[in-house]
Structures are given as C-alpha cells and as structure tokens.
Structure 1
C-alpha cells in the first residue's frame, strides 16, 4: 500500500479533489461525496485533514469495512518512508511494510499481543484474554480464529443491509456449509454415522473424533458477535433444531437425502412444532397424521416456524394416536408434497430468518418419512429440546456481551457535560451490573456444557433438563437487561435504525424472540424447579 505524508494529503482539500485520513489510512472520497448520507459538505469540511475523530463519532466499524476500505489509496508514513518507497522497484514497494495506524483517542486497545480480539473489557469470554480454563485446547483456539475471520469479513459489514432487506443471501448459507460451520452447529460430527454424511470437513482442520460441544459453542458464539439474531437464525435457526431429530432417529434413506442436502448448504430444514393454539404445550398439539396403510394424511397448521419460509424439509410434530404426549409422532414432510403451503409472517424482529405460517391440507406423507417409532415423537422432541435451548443460551449470552462491548466502546468516545460517558459513575454502575450477569451466565453455561461432554447420553435429559431450563431464563433475562442498559447509554442513537447504534437498536427488538421460543421464561423457571423437586422426592423415598 502506498504511503503519504500528512502534507501530501493536505493538498487534496476541495470537493473536486477530496482526501481524508482515518486511523492512519488515506481515502480518496471525491466520488463518494454525492452519496454521503450526511451531505458532501460534512466531508468537505475535513478535506485534506485527519477525520478520525469525526468518523468514529458518527459511524461504526462495519461502515469502514463495507464503504471505507474500497476507497483507500494508501496509509500515512513519514517523509523518509515516502522517499524510500520511491526508490524501491514497484514489486518491492507493493510488498514493503506499512506504518501501523495509531489507535483512535479513547479506543480500548489491548497491550498484550497474545490476547485474542480487541481487548475491550468483558467484550469477549475470559479465556480469550489468557485466563486459564479447563475446557479448551489448541483445536478450540484454531477454530475460534477461523470462525472470527469469516464473520468479520463476510458477515459483519452486511448485517444491517440484510436485516433491512429481510433476506439473507443463500450464498452466505452455502459459504457456512463449505466452512464446516453447518455441520458443527447441528452436532453432526458427534457420531460416526452422521459424520459420514458430512459433505465438507470441519473448519480449522478439526477431525470428527476431536469434535466436542465446546467446538459447537465457539461457532455459535463467534457468529453471534454479528449482533443480528435474524442472521443467526437465517443460517442455523431451523437447521440446528430441525436436523438433529433426522440425524438421530430417521431411516437411513431419509438421513442420506435430508442430512447431506442440508449440510451441503443446498437445502434448508425447519422444525415445525408450534401451532396457533399450542406453543410450549407440545402435548396438546392438534395437527393430525391419519394412517392410510403405506402413508399418512396430514392436516393442520404450524406457526412462527424459523427458516420455514424457504425450507425444503419440515420436521413436523403430528398427532398419530390419542390425546396427550403418548399420541405424538415426528415425521419429515417435504415442501414439494402437494398440500403444503407456506407464507411469511411479519414479526417485530429476527428479520431475514424466514419466520412463517405453514398449512398442511391432506398432505400425503410416505411411511418411510416417519422419524423413529410411531407415537414416540414426544420423547424425541424432549431429547431435542436440551440442544435447542443450549443454542438459544449460547446466542443470548453473546448478544448480551455484544451490548456490553458496543456500549463500552461508545462510552469512551462520547462526551457529555465535558466528560466521557465512561467517566460518569452512573454509567460505570450500569456496566458493572451488565458484566456481572453476563459473566455469571457464561460460567454456568460452560459448566453445563462440560456435563454434556462428559455425562452418559442416556442420563442427560433427566439430569440436565432442569438446569438448562433455568439457564435459558437466566440468559434471556440477562440479554434483555443488557440491551436495555446499552440503549440508555447510546440514547437516541439506539432508537435509530442504522448508524452507530445499529446493533443495539436491532437487538432491543429481538430480545422477545429469545425469551419466548424454545420455552418461555415462565415455563422454564417452573420446569427447572419442578425437575429439581422431582429428583429430590425420589431420593427421599430411597
């Protein structure tokens, strides 16, 4: 990259020839002036000057990645550097080291180069900052790096654009598949049978036999840094909860078709359980599947189905027997079966995740598409719920952390009454409460994930169902608290779509999508206590 002196940049100081400096980088913004949302005069005022402070006062990092970097023409260097560059052959100059940009005033920078990430206090889990942890090894560290680079380059700069369009390009989903991300978030590498169906290897060269729940956690956690629940769910929302029942309990023929198609990024799948009159009360769902010999005839409706709008397959809960949980079955229904209709639902948040309303009218479903045994579907649903809720917890906790990170960075550069926001005790108090809740949730989550990794699979539903339910309520209430406090710190910027408060505004709208699906907070709290009492009573009898 070519180097310029500050004096050279100063020569480009008019609307017809406009250069600026931001973070030690030089940008030619002449052709961008007419497109600047704030008008060209705002930029012309700083033509030929260092506009770092002004840029960071009004823009977030995604704008630099998406709009700024294509306009970059060089970096700031000394006069000596500039003279040296002129003496070098063109090829050598292109590969010569450039000056390291000075950090922005007030920017939080880690002084320890071994730290991972930006070093914003509590902006990342403690093990990212050289804290000792018993849960992670070198493979986790390699995976973390690969996923973060992908998210920073391919996801972060476009979140707002995709959210506003209410559509995520399928190419992003396919890119996630090729990276091995889709396989990781479904837990596909956990067994030899499902690992054999993976069309792409796992990221960072991780072998299926090395894979554990903490690798999955890292993938979900790093993607969630984007601060867009809609994008998270567009990539993995339906897949991570709709595919596991197929992987574990479907026939080999259905597994090969559905699992391979979905993990390749060519096909989508959605879990269709919730109905207009049956949400968390799964045992009383009303969609029916009537036995007709070699097939079922399915009739009913499903509502609030994530990724349903573009799903090719639906993992559907139907009533095949009598009332209650003993009469429920699971089956795979393909979108192109006659009688399946899907329409979009306009929701408060999670834009782009394909939330939909599905109607089944006399749909003929082959018996081969039954998942597991007839009338045993409730057991499979409960088996799946722990994984679903853990995914929600992972996302909610990182999104709470995003609120901390974004508002902490903002508070170091925004001034009120002559002081930075972070210098006001009342603001530090807000951060104290946000941080303590987020860190407590994270520690509990890692503890539970360790149980998932080490306990026998057959004892996990009963032993971990209650704690996971309680932790889901903990994580979503922490997320809501952090979103609220971050919005207060940002003020009016968090009330505006786009700009510096983009993530906070969006996340504040999306909180409900974490507090209700997968089991509402009220039901989770009750379930957690009831399961604990049930185990206590059993021990007392013994």
Structure 2
C-alpha cells in the first residue's frame, strides 16, 4: 500500500473544474476512481467505440467504468493517467505481483489475517510468497498469451522454472529434491505435501486452463512413475535429469479410443523380439496431454499375459511415431495429442515394474495425479467465487448493487460453502499423505482421494452454473468482465473426466469402504 500511496502522491493534482473543461474530441478527460485519464488519443482505439467515451467527457465515469470493465483495464492503460483529483485518494485496491486478495474468501483460510491453521508452517508461507511473485511476473503473462493463441509453453519460461527447481517441485516430495534449496529458502528434504499443495494452487491462479495442463502436466503424471518403477537406475537418472532441467519433455500415454478408465481394454501391444532383448510396440493413444512436444512416452501396453508399462523414447523412433493435435474445449496450449506407434523398437530394460503387472504401476501413480487435480479445481472454484463476489458488488441493477438481491446472496453462500468444504477435505487428506509411506497411501488413500476428486468436480459443476447466471451474458463471453467465468464453465469438465471420471472414482471410494466393512454388523 505504501508503494501505491507513493505513486499517487507523484501524480499531478487536478481539480474537478479543470476536468470538466476538457470535454471535447480535441481534449477529452474523464475521472475513474479519483484519477484523471486523458482519452483524447484513445478515442478511435477504444474497443467499445468512441461514442461511449464522449458521453463521459469531462465527467466522473467511475460507476459506469466498473459496470463494464475489470480493474486490470486501468492497469493496462496506466500511461493514460495524467493526475489525481485534488484532495482525493483512489479507493480501489491496485493489486501488485505477489499480493493477497483482500476480497473475502478469495484466499484459503490459512492465508486470511486473524485465522489460524494447524497444517501450515512458516516455510509454507515463505514458499507461497515467493512463488506468487514468480507466477504473477513470469508465468501468468505467458499463460494468457498461450491460452489465446494455442501455442506451447516457451523454452524461456521452462528454463526459468527449471532454474528455480519448480519443475522438480511439481513432482511432489521425494529424493529428487534432496540437497536442493527451493523458493522461500525451503530445504528439499523438508518439502512436504502441503508445499506441494501450495505449488499446485498457486500455478492455477494464471486462469488459463489449457496452459495449466500444457505447463508439463504430462511430466507430473509420468516422471513420478519413472522414479518409482523404472528398474534401470542409470536410465532413470538420465531421464529425470533431462526432464527436470527442461531439456527433454515427457507424457503419460495410457488412454486410447478403445479404453479410458477401463485400462484393461487397451489394444496397444508390446511383443518381445525373438532374442528377448526388445519390445516391438504397435497401437494408438488418444487425448494425451503434452504429447505434441514429448520426447518420452510412458506407455500402457498389452503384453503376453497382461498389461505392462514401458518407457518409449522418441529419439531413434521418429519415423515410427506419429503425433497429431487434438482440438478440445480448451486451448491447444495443452498439446493434447493422438499418437500412433508403428513397429517402435524399445530395449527390454525400459519396462516399469514387472512385466504383465503394470496395473499396479498405473494405479499407484493415479493417487497423486487425482490429488493434484483436486487441488487445481478447488483453486479454480475459489477464483470464480472471488469473481462473483467482486462483480455482484460493482454491478448495478435497478439502481442497486447486484449483491443486494437475496437470490444472488444465496448463490454466493452456496459457492463459498462448497469451496471451503473442498479445501477442508483436501487439507485433511494432505495431512494423511504427510503421515503415510508411499505404500500406505496406495493402500489406504485411493478411495478417499477418488471421493475428493469426484465431490470437487460436482461442486465445480454447481459453481460454474451459478457463476454464469450471476454474470449473465458476460458469463458466456470469451473476454471482458466474465472471461474467467466463461472459461471455467467451458473447461471444468476436464477435471471431471481426466484422471478417472466422477462416476468411476465415486464407485472406487465406496468399493474401498465396503472392503473395510465388518463381517457382521447389525
């Protein structure tokens, strides 16, 4: 706030009478939030046309502006500001990179002043502070650009993330972080699942659903399997080093046109060569995130007596691997891909786990993936709730703010309650993860995490629906005031389907609970 006050005191002091005199096309000034803007040279460039600006020439247009625009528009055109009204101060919070939102429920309770949490330590807060600045300054601008034009994450941003060990942190806790000093001064050995949660939710704040997955979601759900299950230690280290340095990229290639959640229905085959030293792989994969730029494919295959997972390098197999882009409801920045493997030859030591026993490799890897998705969709729900809180406060309907309508307050209450419920469930499961071994998580948390993801995406459905109704026409417009809501409504279903559908995961949770039922229960 001190920085903001310093900026305002450096502005020229202008009286309202002086503004009123500048009311023609040759000199057109207006007031927004006590600041004076010279729009003379902006008249023809204004996306909404010049007439609406002329209607407020020499006048205070604050109410009209915030009825139509997000505050970020003023930040974008800050160079048009020529002064501050004499004796007055701006009232709207001018957010800077790294700032916490002052809007109620816009941040998790543990980040809200005067509220406490038993889960988070100072290291989590330090990581969050530095990470938010990094995301706001480096990730969000590119995310917005890539979401719009559909191109993939740049090598420049990849290198910045690698240099700060952010690629490594996105895999979660583990030996790959030991000996590393992370953002906020966090030691790699102390990095836990609450640090992981912070990473997941802060990155989602870029509000770019396609780019969110395009920023190495494929690596996050495949390199973890390599670390846990690849038997060739030297190959494991090589692949890990290449991917975490941002030099090579990876994806998980399980789903096919023939099989999604039902991995037993896969038709891609891996047959051994007569000498037993290689696999020959044939088949197709569909909806593979990051596949368009992947150098490695962690691939599910049918083997002689079951299902196996094999690491397929693109290098040396370029003529035998074909990738084609798939256009979905979100941006092609996610690099969603159709893949064909045709007589791809892979050494036998690229097998993960044991042959014909790949189901356990995939199932154990699913827990972290589904947990990460629950982190993400819960943060999206919070962002959308914040958008609705702000919009209903500034939007005037029948002469009153929209939030003066009881029906709108009921919708807001529901959105807040669902978001907080999901965050609370997420945090209690995260606490269990911190206090269980990897094997215990695989045995005990598959059901609870499945139920969490299923519940969170159902809540997202309700929040997306109410948010669009609150925003009206803007809620179905890809730009302007409702752009975040429109994107959420268009893309929240990705979280309901990817990593296991709502129905499959809800059933998983109940079936796991049924296994724990006492034999005789009155």
TM-score between the two structures when normalised by the length of structure 1: 0.86
Q: Cα distance, 1:15 vs. partner? A: 4.0
Partner of 1:53: 63
Alignment deviations for residues 233-264 of structure 1 (CA, whole Å, 9 cap, x no partner): 11132121121111222233323332222222
3-state SS in 2 of match to 1:204 = helix
Alignment deviations for residues 468-518 of structure 1 (CA, whole Å, 9 cap, x no partner): 111110010111111110000000001111111001111111021111111
| Cα contact 2:159–2:246 (8 A) shared by 1 | yes
Q: 1:303 aligns with which of 277, 282, 286?
A: 286
Please report the RMSD computed on the Cα atoms of aligned residues, expressed in angstroms.
2.7
The answer to whether residue 134 in structure 2 is matched with residue 150 in structure 1 is yes
The answer to whether residue 414 in structure 2 is matched with residue 401 in structure 1 is no
Q: Cα distance, 1:11 vs. partner? A: 6.5
The answer to whether residue 339 in structure 2 is matched with residue 354 in structure 1 is no
Counterpart mapping for 1:52-451 below 5 A:
52-65=62-75, 67-69=76-78, 71-72=79-80, 76=84, 78=86, 101-103=90-92, 117-130=100-113, 131-157=115-141, 159-170=143-154, 171-187=156-172, 190-192=173-175, 194-195=176-177, 201-250=181-230, 251-292=232-273, 293-323=276-306, 327-334=307-314, 337=317, 338-451=319-432
Provide the aligned length of Structure 1 versus Structure 2: 503
3-state SS in 1 of match to 2:341 = strand
Q: Cα distance, 1:19 vs. partner? A: 4.9
Alignment deviations for residues 415-462 of structure 1 (CA, whole Å, 9 cap, x no partner): 222221111100111111111111111111100000000112221112
Q: 1:55 to 1:458 in 2, by over 3 A?
A: same
Unaligned runs of 5+ in 1: 80-98, 110-114
Alignment deviations for residues 322-375 of structure 1 (CA, whole Å, 9 cap, x no partner): 24xxx3233233266231110111112244111111110111112232223323
3-state SS in 1 of match to 2:242 = helix
Q: 1:26 to 1:245 in 2, by over 3 A?
A: farther
| Cα contact 2:308–2:354 (8 A) shared by 1 | no
Q: Cα distance, 1:122 vs. partner? A: 1.4
Partner of 1:83: none
Which has the higher mean CA deviation after the structures are superposed, 408-417 or 373-382? Answer: 373-382
Distance 1:386 1:3 in 2: 54
| Cα contact 1:411–1:421 (8 A) shared by 2 | yes
The answer to whether residue 23 in structure 2 is matched with residue 5 in structure 1 is no
Q: Cα distance, 1:319 vs. partner? A: 1.6
Q: Cα distance, 1:38 vs. partner? A: 0.8
Q: 2:438 aligns with which of 454, 457, 471?
A: 457
Alignment deviations for residues 397-424 of structure 1 (CA, whole Å, 9 cap, x no partner): 1111111110110000112222211111
Unaligned runs of 5+ in 2: 1-6
Q: Cα distance, 1:180 vs. partner? A: 2.9
Partner of 1:37: 47
Distance 2:211 2:72 in 1: 15
